[in-house]
A and B are shown apart, each in its own frame.
Chain A
Amino acid sequence: MSQKEYTKDMFVLVQENERLLDKKLKTKQLTYFQDAMIRFTKNKYNVIATVILVIFILLSIFVPIITPRNLFAQTNSSLTTLPPRIPLLENLGILNGTKQFKNQPIDYTTVDPVTGLGYPTIGFQADYFLFDTLTNQDVIGTDRSPQFRGGTNELFVDTERSAYAIVTPVAISFLTGHTIEVDVNEIDPAGVLKVYLSALSVGSGYASWDDLALLGTITEAGVHVLDPMTAIANGVARYVVFKYELPAPSTDGSEYVSFNSIAVKNAADVNVNFYDGYPLAMFALYNVDSLTENGRFVRKNAVMTTANFRYNVYEALFADQRSTIGDADYDRILQENEGMEDSIVPDPDNPDGWLFGEGFPIVSVVSVEIISLPGTGITATNYVVMLDGSYALGFETTPYFLFGTNVFGQDLFTLIWLGLRTSLLLGFMAACVNIFVGIIWGATSAYYGGQVDIMMERFTDIWGSFPQITMIAIITVLIGPGFTALFIFMVYDGWIGAAKVTRSQFYRYKGREYVLAARTLGASDSRIIFKHILPNALGTIITRVVLSIPSVIFLEVNLSYLGFGIGNGQAFRIGPITLTGTSIGVILNDGQQQIFAGNLWLVIFPTIIVSILMITFNMFGNALRDALNPQLRGS
């Protein structure tokens, strides 16, 4: 078998004259953070959350700057608790500046004979009701007020007393044929009801009950008719006294007589005086001997009709107001507003008056009256004018308070962003302090290990087991509520979490070869910690910090709500930034007191904003974690 010969000259060296170098990578090289950025933008929901978060931060910076200071920094007594009004949405019938009122006592004269519905008139004007939302309901109560009607009035005798009496508020002139009609609802059989005529309105003028004229005695329930003419002559005015009398002092104060009504009728059986419900409750108490007579006169089962309705608060507040002004004022207004005089046009509906153009304090003149002062020959001119409602309150047109106003008349929209700014800044600062202390603590603890680690761990154990409420107590007692206290609450144990993360990360990396290499080359401890180990652990730590911000804001909201943080009227300067005492917690606290006044927006809007903030913050934090540490995704 012959073998093929391979001689040396059959071979040629490849690349003999070429220099061999590393080739450039064909694909683009990415740093760790660029890589993270790509992963971050892949999840669309997280990007949306991040965008919302950024918008919130921008709003919290710029809204308080743009809004005029007088709308949120001072009390505006004329603008209190205006409901929210939002452009565009108002056309859909929501958030249109109307406010739901509940349980408002109605004015009984307004009851419509067709629908049977009435509405209140005190504080409300009929023009601005949304009548299709009006409903009435009855409330049963014991108030001695004219809002409550009907019901019974009960005269009790107190414990260890034997009688008590009531008297008509006015003296009644009795004519021939007049009768007194007493409608008794219930009477406790232990006692009797005696009816007297008294010449005096108080019992102290008499020495004994025998000095009064007794008309009759009532022992059972029902309508009883008494004739006053048996005791007095025609035309004499007398007070009528009703006395509930027990044979012996009461042992438990439970004996009573219950009246439906008391009436004085004339010969034609027509009521001359009629007392029931509220008028009856206004009967004065009457006693001859204050030692044996005492008791109480209470109202039962009285009914009040209340109304629920929507009311257009903006139109009512910013309506043009009729007013009468003198000629001096009128001329002054015309002079002060340039172009006002030129904008006058005659009023087509009213030959006596004229109209002005838009944007002037006076909308129109309704009529002019010229008064000449008698004897002097001087004449004064009075103008009956319609004042522009918006202008009177300092606005050019009816304003839109997007989130309404609070009890101090401040714009809630601005206040929320202002509060959010405080909350966010405090949150960021606290997170920074936490991360700073946490990294140093955790790094030291893990890097040195051994005894140092055990000691530092035990310290964090004790420190971390302080109940939050105890810490609140200590700080409140020692330095009182305020910015400093709030900040200490936020950081006193917040760093422990960061320290734990840093410690576990350090344990992971400190035994690696590159650390050993660095140490062999003579690197100092701090260089190894901060230059070689920390950058590896940074991703996890950053995520941890971002995810801790919402919980810090949580804490701020809770503490300020409880009054242990900041409050209205405080301010705190950090360099160029001034933080106000308004925060979401403070706004919520103010708002909670308004829930049952029906001013729900004061709670709803801060709630929505803070919830969205928390949700987006958490989504942003999770997205950041997924991007920086893909191995932790979804946990």
Chain B
Amino acid sequence: MTRYIIQRVVWIFIILFTTLTITFTLLKLAPEYPPTKNEEKDIWLEKQVQDGFYTSVYYNIDDPEDMAEVDYIRANEPGVNQSVFIVTPVRDSGVVKVFYRVPIITQYFRWVGNIVRDWNWGTSTKIRVNVPAFTIIAERMPLTLYLNLSALLFYLPFGFFFGILAALKKDTVVDNILQILIMVFLSVPSLVLLLTLIIILSYQFNLLPSLFPLVGIESFGKVAQGFVIPVLAVGLPSIAGLTRILRAELSEVLTSEFVLLAKTKGLSHTQAVLRHAIRNSLVPMVPIIIGSFAGLLGGSFILESVYAIPGVGRITLQALVAGGYDYNVILVSSAFYSAIGLSTALIVDLSYGIIDPQIRMGARK
């Protein structure tokens, strides 16, 4: 068991590392987009030199020979404004700086070194200039997690209720109505559902805000109101999914012999279901529920973008505005999403073994 867990954790780190390596390499193949303002650009590039991603050469603006060289570089260097940047004097320094990007392989090892040694993920270039990228993502993590947790807390009770109801009333009117609703909510894209909810709750009846309120400025009540529409948009399809799985599981368990035995003992149908059948049908449910958390999180960037929720997903999409890519922010958010996805997968696998002793983990058949 312990060996299996260690193996899995090591494997997670290998996957995370590989994913980030591929992402880093591919992103660095594209041109760099430093901050646009000259002073910020200067600060950012100097930081890059300090972190080891660039080398710099200084030229004196009063020296004609130096200036001739700068002009030559500006005219003939193929990577100008892509991997070579010329910064005009900042304030009255009188120094023209030329920055050269070092080869990707060197950058990569320095990047890994910076992260391992100092937890330094680089600074942002566009979202909030010269602020550490990790800080930007970390500030937004709580909101994204709260949102997904509230969705989880919302959908679980309803999902269980409807799932049990559908299984108990199998092949009745109630079940048929539930089946239709399940079909509808599982089929409709969450984007479409969100827009429908905005139209109904926000435009038509004016009950809820049409965009997420500004956290920190608005009162708690307003922010809580802002949670309603996104939680509904994520929660309704999840309720449908849970209902469907629970119904299938429970109706299978209901036909098994121990339920029949329970009934023979004299328990009523409901008693037999609540005391015996549900417990057994829960075994395969727990991993599915844990797994759904990663699923919710992975899809939340669309939700955050449509409803203007300032979470991790939205900031990542903002870092992807054409022609103004913020690579460091993208890398941190990739790490965030990968880490959540992989650790959820691990917990799911472990939970199988804990809940159902019949499943021996890591065993060779």
Binding site for B on A (CB under 8 A): 461-462, 465-470, 472-474, 476-478, 480-481, 550, 554, 557-558, 561-562, 564, 585, 588, 591-592, 595-596, 600, 603-604, 607, 610-611, 614-615, 617-619, 634-635
Contacts and interface: CB of A to CB of B under 8 A. Distances in A.
B36 interface: no
Contact of B188 (A481, A561, A611, A634): A611
A473 B184 contact: no
A250 B305 CA distance: 44
Nearest to A465: B15
15 contacts: A462-B18, A462-B19, A465-B338, A465-B341, A465-B345, A467-B341, A470-B337, A473-B23, A557-B189, A561-B191, A561-B302, A561-B306, A596-B210, A611-B184, A611-B192
B67 interface: no
A593 B27 CA distance: 32
Contact of B302 (A461, A558, A604): A558
Interface in B1-58: 15, 18-19, 22-23, 26-27, 29-30
B173 interface: no
A557 B210 CA distance: 21
**In this complex, which of A478, A562, A634, A635 has the most chain B Cβ atoms within 10 angstroms of its Cβ?**
A562
Contacts of B319: 473
Contacts of A634: 248
Contacts of A466: 19, 22, 338
A558 B191 contact: yes
Interface residues of B, number: 45
Give the secondary structure class of A's interface. Answer: helix
Interface of B: 15, 18-19, 22-23, 26-27, 29-30, 183-184, 186-189, 191-192, 195-196, 198-199, 203, 210, 248, 298, 301-302, 305-306, 313, 316-317, 319-320, 322, 325, 327, 330, 333-334, 337-338, 341-342, 345
B192 A465 contact: no
A84 to B, nearest CB: 15
A595 B30 contact: no
Contacts of B199: 595, 600, 603-604
B188 A614 contact: yes
Contacts of A481: 322
A635 B316 CA distance: 37
A600 B313 contact: no
B201 to A, nearest CB: 12
B27 A473 contact: yes
B198 A595 contact: yes
Nearest to B27: A477
A274 to B, nearest CB: 37
Contact of A478 (B30, B192, B210): B30
A289 B19 CA distance: 67
A477 B30 contact: yes
A468 B341 CA distance: 11
B183 A469 contact: no
Contact of B298 (A461, A468, A474, A618): A468
A100 to B, nearest CB: 10
Given A469-B337, A600-B203, A604-B199, 5 more contacts: A469-B298, A469-B317, A476-B325, A477-B30, A595-B199
Contacts of B23: 470, 473-474
